[in-house]
């Protein structure tokens, strides 16, 4: 992450302050908080066209607000954003804590409306099964907040009777690129990443192929990408409590009509939205792992 991308990052590698981006809206703009995983600039490139589309479709100024994980919770609590687009884990916790309303689930090119977590090791590793992770050096994106970069895998292992305290060490490596490279270099024995990460690294030329890596406990199904965990719904677009009801209805309808071929291409892989899927499995995960909102009621 370069200095021109974000002004500062927190310990999880997400923005705590963001640079001044091109302003989409005005002072009275509808504010859409978007989780900036890689950087504020990357979030704007990937999801900016959705915000621009809403502005054009509804005829009101909209503004994309890139936020780090903790900033997202603070912004919703303060009511300083009207809508949020975030990973399903933080989205479910925001719903539990602040009564947000899920309007639609995004659909990505090639993988649809679901994704999962991957446990990756070197191809020559003697880690063959989840049980072999006991006593090993494991790394993930972030303990409390990462979905497919940590907690999908932890929940999968917990259901198999394996707790994170049984790892030899368990560290945070905010960059999923660095997680994969750390596994290849032998700095760690296993890494937690999301589906599509390996494919993206090959496409970007960071990896030549997958041949030096292996997925632990790979599921046997027809999903297009290898994965360890069950599949979960993709990112939901949600309305913050107190947002004007008529505006919420307009935004929901517009999202379900979204067609990226009719907008600037940008860097997005989002090809549309579907009515909000069932996120109850994420509520179960939050409760079992006792994450941030574990003792708050599920909506």
pLDDT digit string, tens, across residues 202-256? 998 999 988 999 999 999 999 999 999 999 999 999 999 999 999 999 999 999 9
**d(Cα 76, Cα 84) in Å, to the nearest integer?**
8
pLDDT digit string, tens, across residues 62-113? 999 999 888 999 999 999 999 999 999 999 999 999 999 999 999 999 999 9
In the predicted structure, residue 9 carries a pLDDT above the cut 80: no
pLDDT of res. 140 = 97
CA–centroid distance for 123 within its chain: 27
How many domains are contained in the chain? 2
Centre a 10 Å sphere on the Cβ of residue 99 and count the other Cβ atoms it contains: 15
44 and 139 fall within a common domain: no
pLDDT of res. 262 = 55
**d(Cα 149, Cα 273) in Å, to the nearest integer?**
23
Mean pLDDT of 130-153: 95
Mean pLDDT of 162-183: 96
- Host domain of residue 252: 8-112+234-289
- Identify which of 183, 206, 77, 68 has the alpha carbon closest to the alpha carbon of residue 137: 183
Q: What is the mean pLDDT of the chain?
A: 88
By the 8 A CB rule, do 117 and 178 touch? no
Q: How confident is the model at residue 267 (pLDDT cuts 50, 70, 90)?
A: low
- Percent of the chain predicted with pLDDT > 70: 89
78 and 154 fall within a common domain: no
In the predicted structure, residue 23 carries a pLDDT above the cut 60: no
**CA distance readout (Å), 130 to 151, 154, 230, 293:** 15, 11, 15, 27
Q: How confident is the model at residue 13 (pLDDT cuts 50, 70, 90)?
A: very low
Q: How confident is the model at residue 145 (pLDDT cuts 50, 70, 90)?
A: confident
16 and 108 fall within a common domain: yes
User: Which residues are 117's β-sheet partners?
Assistant: 194
**d(Cα 86, Cα 88) in Å, to the nearest integer?**
6
21 and 85 fall within a common domain: yes
**CA distance readout (Å), 245 to 65, 87, 277:** 21, 24, 21
106 and 12 fall within a common domain: yes
């Amino acid at each position: 992450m370069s200095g021109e991308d974000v002004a500062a990052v927190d310990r999880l590698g997400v923005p705590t302050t963001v640079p001044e981006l091109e302003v989409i809206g005005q002072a009275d703009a509808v504010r859409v908080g978007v989780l900036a995983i890689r950087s504020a600039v990357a979030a704007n490139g990937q999801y900016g066209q959705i915000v621009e589309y809403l502005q054009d479709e509804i005829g009101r100024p909209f503004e994309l607000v890139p936020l780090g994980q903790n900033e997202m919770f603070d912004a919703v609590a303060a009511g300083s954003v009207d809508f949020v687009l975030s990973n399903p884990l933080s989205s479910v916790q925001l719903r539990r804590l602040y009564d947000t309303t899920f309007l639609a689930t995004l659909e990505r090119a090639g993988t649809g409306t679901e994704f999962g977590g991957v446990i990756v090791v070197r191809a020559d590793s003697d880690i063959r099964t989840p049980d072999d992770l006991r006593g090993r050096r494991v790394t993930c994106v972030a303990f409390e907040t990462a979905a497919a970069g940590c907690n999908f895998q932890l929940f999968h292992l917990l259901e198999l009777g394996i707790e994170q305290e049984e790892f030899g060490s368990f560290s945070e490596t905010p960059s999923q690129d660095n997680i994969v490279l750390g596994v290849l270099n032998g700095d760690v024995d296993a890494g937690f990443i999301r589906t599509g990460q390996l494919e993206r690294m090959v496409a970007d030329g960071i990896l030549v192929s997958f041949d030096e890596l292996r997925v632990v406990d790979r599921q046997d199904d027809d999903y297009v990408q290898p994965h360890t965990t069950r599949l979960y719904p993709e990112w939901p677009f949600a309305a913050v409590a107190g947002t004007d009801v008529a505006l919420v209805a307009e935004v929901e309808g517009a999202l379900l009509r979204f067609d990226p071929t009719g907008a600037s291409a940008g860097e997005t892989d989002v090809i549309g939205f579907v009515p909000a899927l069932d996120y109850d499995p994420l509520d179960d995960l939050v409760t079992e792992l006792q994450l941030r909102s574990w003792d708050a009621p599920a909506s």
